[in-house]
A and B are shown apart, each in its own frame.
Chain A
Amino acid sequence: MKVSGSTNWKGPVKFRMPTAENLVPIRLDIQFEGQRYKDAFTWNPSDADNEIAIFARRTVKDLKLPPAFFTQISQSIQSQLADFRAYEGQDMYTGEKIIPIKLDLRVNHTLIKDQFLWDLNNFESDPEEFARTLCKDLGVEDPEVGPAVAFAIREQLYEIAVQSVSSARESRLSKKSRRGSDYGSASKASGLSMDLVKLFSFKSSVVRKRKDLDVYEPMVDLLTNEEVDALEAREERHAR
């Protein structure tokens, strides 16, 4: 039987996305000659590099963008991948780290707000599977919502993984020994460290208190066209 990859204390692990599949979230936002291309997707860093060129070419062709976009797209993807790979050589902390992940996103006409706990140490976690279940259970019909949710989760995980790398570096420099309470220090970033011990102790229950229920409940809203336009206009203004 496979023991899942979460123990109380593990030696630092090489940096990777803490999910079942090591996929990197890539976000593109390119403006050129009056056209703006915004996109977000996941990329497998173990793909060959010429795949980037193939993807960029196909995108430019499908969306009928001016050919200048091709280089821009490839460069952007490559630089984000390079950032990811830069972290890859380093160690990352894997202690017991349960963090709240918040979703607050709008995809076409669907608005999703949600919050839930995610164990950063669980290397079998799967954002795509989670997103799929979420959409299926809530009856979301727009097929673009699932990938958007998975992408948002991945982005947050990526951020926190990056943070844990830097915190690992700091703690390695600061303290020479004392490996005992690693999980305590590693999850300092999340406000949940003390709560963890409290929640999962012998006396308290794992069932959430009623007052917290609303926070952790997913909310899905379907917007009308006017609301969508209004929100878009507001976002545009913020972006400027």
Chain B
Amino acid sequence: MEASTNDRSSSFKDAELELYTIPAHSSWFVWEDIHEIERREFAEFFSESSITRTPKVYKEYRDFIINKYREDDSSRRLTFTSIRKHLVGDVNLLRKVFLFLENWGLINFLNKSDDGSMEESEAEIELGTPAGIRVTATPVSMRPVTVPPLVEERAEPAFKFSPLTSYSDVFTDLNKPLLCGHCGESSCDSAFYQHTKSLVTLCDKCGDCGENNSAHDFKLIAAAAWTEEETLLLLESVLKHGDDWELITQSVSTKSRLDCISKLIELPFGEFLMGSSSGRLRSSIPTSEDENLSSPSNPLEQMKADGLEQKETETREEKGDDHVVDEDEPPAKRKRVAMLSDGGDSSLMKQVAAMACKVGPSVTTAAAKAAIAALCDEASCPKDTFETTCDFTDFAVDRADGDKGTSDMEEQQEDKEGPQDLPVALRMRASVATALGAAAAHAKILADQEEREMEQLAAIIIDQQLKKMKSKLKFLDHLELIMDAEEQVMEGVKETILQERISVLQFAFGSGITKRWDHT
């Protein structure tokens, strides 16, 4: 082995550095010997406690692996599996040797694997349950359940039940333009029919033109566009059936399962309709569905519309607009927080508070600021409102917090004042503005508190680390002292041994024996 490497090295003298590159920190490695580092790492080989682990065995493993790597044209990565078939011995041990050599760069130095990509690969969503677990349909047999003998058979895939939705399910095969087989148009909006036996597709207008085709043979392919009724149906059925796509497809009869799922995802709040259990948003959806469909940019606000007055919805629409505008996020897919609008609790302030809790404080402050600005701009003289009817606005503010909502406020306002100089809406808006301002102030205070806490915690952590370092240093000092003491002792021992030797020699000389003892 050594001779061959010498030959190779002499012939590739210049190229050797490139061929057999190993990192500088591995320069301790020599062919002929086993280095201290290796001895330490693989103590079990050198402890002479087993017949399968001897230094010779270790050296053979090591040399074989490195040679194999180098002979196979070092540009290719050597895998453990390709090497383990060549060597006799416990595979775990072999793997340990292999990893050791790889970590020290003695093999695979030039072609590192990209382990990073393996671990970062996204979890793939699979259609259906993992195939290893299958529920099969077998004839009914009431055999007692016994632990089956440990046989190396794998589970068998059989009956598949309703699969879970997956990404590929929804997003492939979408938007394929349907060509009518007869008139060749793909752009007409009418529904398409597909023949059950052949793959002919015909549009609605040409439906009667097929020869020998009766109406029964054609199946309606859903059009790509979703009408409002269909969307309504879809939402209702989602709420009713939750996760069961088959039932939903049946109720929305004109759309296939994939279409339903994709449409639901596309709807701004669709995702957490799917995710949430079916009962949660039931109460808030039905009344405002039409508004939802027409103005999809304000769904968040619309969803709180349960039982509130028209004017309040206006207010919130504006606020919603500002909310939308000022958030500076791409409008494509904003995160929607699920609103917990429980039963009758529909007061504006409580919902604003709930919203503020879920969103971060900075977002809330921005939204509040924007909302107040919008409201103030609109109301020409909110101050007037406040001054002239200050007790009124206090009253209004109190009322706004109450559970009865603004309908009562409206009534009472109308009762108290006959002619109104300022519309009620303005008053409401002003009070809303003050409430929002208070909320914004609170949010800012909270944010400051959080920051301070964070700084404190960071300081604590740094302190702890310093303490740790100090104690480690102390420990090392202690060790040093001990070592010094040991050194002293060793010196003493050395001295005594020296003395002994001298005395022995003296004795030997004294009795006439020459120093050298060369026995032949």
Contacts and interface: CB of A to CB of B under 8 A. Distances in A.
A and B form one complex:
yes
Interface in A5-24: 6-8
Contacts of B158: 36, 232
Nearest to A195: B88
A65 interface: yes
A80 B149 CA distance: 12
B165 to A, nearest CB: 15
A45 to B, nearest CB: 16
A55 interface: no
Interface string A195-211: 01101111001111000
A206 B60 contact: yes
Nearest to B39: A1
A64 B161 contact: yes
Given A137-B82, A232-B158, A96 B148 contact: no
Contact of B143 (A31, A133, A235): A31
Interface stretch (A46-54, A85-93, A122-130, A168-176): A122-130
Contact of B85 (A72, A205, A213, A232): A213
A105 to B, nearest CB: 5
Given A122-B93, A133-B95, A218-B85, A197 B51 contact: yes
A31 to B, nearest CB: 6
B156 A137 contact: no
Contacts of B156: 38, 232, 235-236
Interface in A207-240: 207-208, 213, 216-218, 228, 232, 235-236
A122 B92 contact: yes
Contacts of B81: 133-134, 137-138, 218
A148 B136 contact: no
B47 interface: yes
Nearest to B133: A39
A159 B150 CA distance: 8
Contacts of A35: 135-138, 159
Contacts of A29: 148
Interface string B132-161: 111111111101010110101111111101
B132 A96 contact: no
A163 interface: no
A124 B56 CA distance: 22
Interface residues of B, number: 61
Contact of A117 (B43, B89, B145, B162): B89
Contacts of A138: 81
Contacts of B80: 133, 137
A232 B156 CA distance: 6
Interface string A152-181: 100100110000000000000000000000
Given A39-B132, A144-B132, A119 B152 contact: no
Interface in A135-157: 136-138, 143-144, 147-148, 152, 155
B52 A38 contact: no
Given A76-B145, A155-B152, A207-B87, A63 B135 contact: yes
Contact of B147 (A65, A76, A147): A76
A200 B61 contact: no
Contact of B43 (A1, A118, A129, A228): A1
A105 B154 CA distance: 6
B132 A40 contact: yes
Nearest to B123: A143
B91 A117 contact: yes
A64 B331 CA distance: 38
A96 B52 contact: yes
Given A36-B136, A108-B131, A126 B92 contact: yes
B86 A207 contact: yes
Nearest to A102: B152
A138 B79 CA distance: 9
Interface in B77-124: 79-82, 84-93, 95, 118, 124
B40 interface: yes
Contacts of A79: 147
B91 A118 contact: yes
Interface in A82-116: 83, 96, 98, 103-108, 116
Contacts of B95: 129-130, 133
Contacts of B357: none
A196 B86 contact: no
Contacts of A37: 133-135
A70 B40 CA distance: 52
Nearest to B68: A207
B138 A34 contact: yes
Contact of B51 (A39, A64, A196): A196
Given A7-B50, A35-B138, A36-B138, 8 more contacts: A3-B44, A4-B44, A37-B134, A62-B129, A104-B152, A206-B61, A208-B85, A228-B157
27 contacts: A1-B40, A1-B41, A6-B50, A8-B51, A31-B141, A34-B138, A37-B134, A38-B134, A40-B154, A64-B162, A76-B147, A98-B90, A116-B91, A118-B90, A119-B89, A122-B92, A129-B95, A158-B150, A200-B52, A205-B60, A206-B57, A206-B61, A207-B64, A208-B88, A218-B81, A228-B157, A232-B157
Interface of B: 40-41, 43-44, 47, 49-54, 56-57, 60-61, 64, 79-82, 84-93, 95, 118, 124, 129-141, 143, 145, 147-148, 150, 152-159, 161-162
